[in-house]
Copies of this chain bind each other. A is one copy, B any other.
């Protein structure tokens, strides 16, 4: 888009650039503020201030706070997928890389607690529907589960859910202070042998 934001009280952004800048500012505010939580206390006005534009300029991209939160969740999910692909590649990919994707999932949650909570407070962001539209993280989970099912037998859907549940559960228990954060423990708990299908 080449439309300039107008009137732009403090800065001028190209349309697409402003959207990206608002998402970046939202992600930063989400993780750096004291409140923690899942962004409940974040306001569109505050994001506008951080980027240096008027609230009106923000409304053109995000009509309400829910729209901004959904965009932050989608961006978070895309970053999670990138991290999981990288972890899998580093471990040699395939079945060997599957355990690494789970450990990367837990570490992503610990490094981005508010974003991780926000992703899962957004029911639209992540679904295991057999025939629905899938995001990259889910498609990758499903492909890995299918590989493991082929190698050791079992039902690929059950394997996908077991792998997801164990990583998600460990992440939540560590985030909620129920289990001490121990980096070495993550690799021991997230183990693809621990999946039967």
Interface residues of A (CB under 8 A from B): 120-121, 123, 126-129, 155, 158, 161-162, 164-173, 176-180, 185, 188-189, 191, 193-196
Collect the chain B residues with CB atoms within 8 Å of residue A165's CB.
Answer: 165-170, 173, 189
Collect the chain B residues with CB atoms within 8 Å of residue A178's CB.
Answer: 120, 123, 126-128
Q: How far is the CA of A176 from the CA of B176 in the complex (A)?
A: 16
Q: How far is the CA of A188 from the CA of B173 in the complex (A)?
A: 22
Q: How far is the CA of A128 from the CA of B172 in the complex (A)?
A: 14
Collect the chain B residues with CB atoms within 8 Å of residue A196's CB.
Answer: 191, 193-194
Q: How far is the CA of A121 from the CA of B37 in the complex (A)?
A: 11
* Copies of this chain, whole number: 2
Q: How far is the CB of A7 from chain B (nearest CB, A)?
A: 39
Collect the chain B residues with CB atoms within 8 Å of residue A129's CB.
Answer: 180
19 contacting pairs across A/B (C-beta < 8 A): A120-B172, A120-B176, A120-B178, A123-B177, A126-B178, A128-B178, A128-B180, A129-B180, A161-B179, A161-B185, A162-B189, A164-B173, A165-B170, A165-B173, A165-B189, A169-B170, A172-B172, A191-B196, A194-B194
